[in-house]
Structure 1
């Protein structure tokens, strides 16, 4: 089985280098390490002389919105054209565990999405993270299943899918059809991908022994800097699936007076409440 790891990149270069170190230290090193650089020409030279060797696919940014769906699709196309049988998607912040890639490869079957656990790391010490210390620094995210080493939880809830770390065979990728590229910027594209997979009968499985460690970076709760993206992408999802995603964030924004819900049209809009 030829394995490709696909990582979209737009900055966070120290995170990228530690991810590459994690891949190099694994019991199964990928055959292809595909970096999809989103207006980030500095990324490729940083990793060029390191292991595993990186293959760079540039994707332009339009209107200031990171094209995450298009980037993942471009990375998958490159990997498949190079002969990959298994696609492993990792966000740039995610450092795989020693056996993560091997576990994905050993349990990949057509018709399934595999998701490993994700542990969110605390801020790094002044000298930075040490690869060997990562498993001791954080537990898997409590909002997702946490199967034991060697365990597989079948029949997972597709609403809990996230694109930080997942794997699927080339056959399954073609069956789902990739990510919808109408989504630009933050949010919605992974929820859409999982919904498409569920409608096509692709099973979600949670895989024990396949952790990634998510390196710390500042986030806002709620993510007010992504308000416009969430409204735009949420409307795309609503049109495609007749339901709003990210409703928790939308309710938080409403409490802050940043958005309002129009029950007459079942639409969220920017601005103060509409007079009834």
Structure 2
């Protein structure tokens, strides 16, 4: 017997990506009992979107510019089922993905999937079309370390989410909070199972590296160090050092911002159009 499950996503803008995500879930071989969308913006016509295939519950977390941890927690806390699948708003689900993930999800583990980055913007979400654009990575299920955790897609039970305590609200804005969540899952004795399935991730305009979130990332990295005694492992820190944005000796003396980029300098790191899948893999950005 299949167990009911809920899908959670958070969004600020990205209406087209959200529409594609919902359409892909509507085509799933096993439909969720509900989808919870948390808007990091005030109510609007966009937040009235509904589906003929499952209820969509709209929630809001708009008290801050980018309240990612609060929005994620609000989404999970609004679910009526005991199995949660979190999907980044950029995701497009293959037909059997949700059925396979929920089938492998049980208390004591977090499940995830391979992320296949699309190398162009798409309006057609048909699997045949998407496979013509990029070759999906499909592997055998395997237990992987939590350093591999990525909030693009993951599943967790209500019991384990409450046991871990959700996402820590001490992290503000963008970055690092997902690494803290993964660390607490590991400390709680959970393990991370890569189901070997895959999800497509749509392109969106972003900064590479995420220099627009420099101050958030540095502040959140300090919260992580104070909590866990060391900085998390992140290629972003190496990139910031190379750009002269943070001090090179941060692991010894603490991390600090030593340069802020002008608007003109920021624009040089803005990625306005899709490039290669390899390029897409150099960043992870949610919401």
TM-score category by the smaller chain? 0.7 to 0.9
Could you tell me how far apart the structure 2 residues matched to 1:58 and 1:114 are? 26
The alpha-carbon deviation at position 221 of structure 1 amounts to 2.2
The RMSD of aligned alpha carbons is: 1.8
Task: Give the whole-Å Cα distance in 2 for the aligned partners of 1:103 and 1:23.
Answer: 13
Distance 1:180 1:264 in 2: 23
Which structure 2 residues correspond to residues 10-49 of structure 1 after superposition, within 5 A?
10-42=12-44, 43-45=46-48, 47-48=49-50
Contact in 1 for aligned 2:168/2:181 (Cα 8 Å)? yes
Match of 1:143 in 2: none
Q: For residues 246 and 230 of structure 1, what CA distance do their matches in structure 2 show?
A: 13
Of 109, 131, 142, the residue aligned with 1:153 is 142
Specify the SS of the correspondent of 2:29: coil
How is 1:118-197 mapped onto 2 (pairs within 5 angstroms)?
118-124=115-121, 128-132=123-127, 133-140=129-136, 148=139, 151-154=140-143, 156-197=144-185
| Structure 2: segments with no counterpart, 5+ residues | 260-287
Asked if the contact 2:21/2:91 (under 8 Å) is kept, the reply is yes
- TM-score (normalizing by structure 1): 0.86
C-alpha separation in 2, matches of 1:246 and 1:227? 16
**What SS class does the counterpart of residue 104 from structure 1 fall into?**
helix
Could you say if the C-alpha distance between residues 3 and 265 of structure 1 is closer, same or farther in structure 2, counting changes exceeding 3 Å? same
Match of 2:186 in 1: 198
Given the superposition, is the C-alpha separation of residues 123 and 50 from structure 1 closer, same or farther in structure 2, using an over 3 Å criterion?
farther
Paired residues of 1:20 and 1:51 also in contact (CA < 8 A): no
Q: Which residue of 1 aligns with 2:262?
A: none
Q: TM-score, normalised by structure 2?
A: 0.83
Count of residues in Structure 1 that have an aligned counterpart in Structure 2 = 255
Local SS of the residue matching 1:206:
strand
1:147 Cα deviation after fit: 5.0
Question: Within 5 Å, which residues of 2 pair with 1:212-227?
Answer: 212-227=199-214
Q: How does 1:51-70 map to 2 (within 5 A)?
A: 51-62=53-64, 64=65, 66-70=66-70
Shift, 1:97, TM fit? 1.2
Q: Please give the per-residue CA displacement for 1:55-105, whole angstroms capped at 9, x wherever unaligned.
A: 00111232x2x11111111111110xx2x1100000101111111110111
Confirm or deny: 8 A CA contact 1:122 1:137 kept in the other structure.
yes
CA contact (8 A) 2:69 2:172 kept: yes
How far 1:50 moved relative to its partner?
4.8
